[in-house]
Structure 1
Amino acid sequence: MTLNFTRRRFVLYGSATVATSLLLKACSQSTTPVAKTGDGGFKIAIALPGVITDQAWNQSGYEGVNLAKQKLGAEVAYVEQVAQADQTEALSDFARKGYNLVFAHGGQFDAAIEQIAAQFPNTFFVGVNGNLKGENIASLRIDHLQGSYLCGIIAAAMTKSNQLAYIAGQEFPATQEELRGFELGAKSVKPEIKITSTFTGDWNDVAKAKEATLALISAGADVIYQWLDSASPAVLQAASDKGVYAFGNTKDQLDIAPKAVLTSAVKRLDVAIAYLAEVARKKQIKGQIYTVGLERPDILKLGNFGAVVPEKIKQDALKVKQEIIAKKIYFEDCQEAGKNTRCAKKS
Structure 2
Amino acid sequence: MISPRLSRREILRCWLGGLTASLFAVATFGVLGCQQESQSSATGSSVPAGESAAGLPPKPEGAFKIGLITPGSTKTDKAWSGLAWEGVQNVAKETGATVTPPVEGPDAASVAGALRNLAQEGDQLIFLHGSEYDEAASSIAPDFPKTTFVVVGGRTEKPNLTPINFSAGGAVYLAGMVAGSMTKTNKIACVGGSEIPIVKEAFENFAEGAKSVNPAADVRVVFTGDEKDIAKAKQQTQALLGEGVDVVQHNANDAGRGVAQAVEGKPGTYFMGANADQSDLATKQNLGSFVLDVPSAYLAVGKRVAEGKGDGKAVKAGLAEHAVYFKFNDRFGGTIPQEVKDKVAAAEKDIIAGKVAIKK
User: Cα offset for 1:68?
Assistant: 0.5
Aligned partners of 2:325 and 2:140: how far apart in 1?
A: 34
CA displacement, residues 317-339 of structure 1 (integer Å, 9 cap, x when unaligned):
122223333x143436xxxxxxx
- Matched with 2:347 is 320
- Matched with 1:161 is 185
Asked whether the 8 Å contact 1:131–1:173 carries over to 2, the reply is no
Asked whether the 8 Å contact 2:58–2:308 carries over to 1, the reply is no
Instruction: Give runs of aligned pairs for residues 28-177 of structure 1, distance below 5 A.
Output: 37=59, 39-54=61-76, 55-77=78-100, 78-177=102-201
- Matched with 2:355 is 329
CA displacement, residues 84-141 of structure 1 (integer Å, 9 cap, x when unaligned):
2221111111111222221111122122212322222222211112232233222112
Cα distance 1:41–1:255, how it changes in 2: closer, same or farther (>3 A)?
closer
Aligned partners of 2:282 and 2:176: how far apart in 1?
A: 19
Aligned partners of 1:133 and 1:177: how far apart in 2?
A: 21
- Matched with 2:209 is 185
User: Cα offset for 1:83?
Assistant: 2.5
Aligned partners of 1:36 and 1:135: how far apart in 2?
A: 11
Aligned partners of 1:93 and 1:230: how far apart in 2?
A: 26
User: Cα offset for 1:258?
Assistant: 2.2
State the number of aligned residues: 298
Q: With CA pairs under 8 Å and 6+ residues apart, which has the higher RCO, 1 or 2?
A: 2
CA displacement, residues 154-211 of structure 1 (integer Å, 9 cap, x when unaligned):
1111112222111111122220221121012112112342211111111121111011
- Matched with 2:259 is 235
Secondary structure in 2 matching 1:125 = strand
Aligned partners of 1:240 and 1:53: how far apart in 2?
A: 22
Cα distance 1:82–1:38, how it changes in 2: closer, same or farther (>3 A)?
closer
2:294 to 247, 256, 269: 269
CA displacement, residues 9-64 of structure 1 (integer Å, 9 cap, x when unaligned):
xxxxxxxxxxxxxxxxxxxxxxxxxx963634433211122111122211110110
- Matched with 1:284 is 309
Q: Does 1:213 align with 2:237?
A: yes
Aligned partners of 1:204 and 1:271: how far apart in 2?
A: 25
User: Cα offset for 1:296?
Assistant: 3.1
User: Cα offset for 1:215?
Assistant: 1.9
Secondary structure in 2 matching 1:100 = strand
Asked whether the 8 Å contact 1:144–1:181 carries over to 2, the reply is no
RMSD: 2.1
Cα distance 1:72–1:232, how it changes in 2: closer, same or farther (>3 A)?
same
CA displacement, residues 251-309 of structure 1 (integer Å, 9 cap, x when unaligned):
22223212321111122211111111122223332333322112233x32222432431
Q: Unaligned stretches of 5+ in structure 2?
A: 1-56
Cα distance 1:134–1:39, how it changes in 2: closer, same or farther (>3 A)?
closer
Secondary structure in 1 matching 2:93 = helix
Instruction: Point out the structure with the larger strand share.
Output: 1
Aligned partners of 1:94 and 1:156: how far apart in 2?
A: 45
Secondary structure in 2 matching 1:51 = coil
Q: Identity percentage over the alignment?
A: 32
Cα distance 1:208–1:116, how it changes in 2: closer, same or farther (>3 A)?
same
Secondary structure in 1 matching 2:284 = coil
CA displacement, residues 210-256 of structure 1 (integer Å, 9 cap, x when unaligned):
11111222233221110122222221121132231120112222232
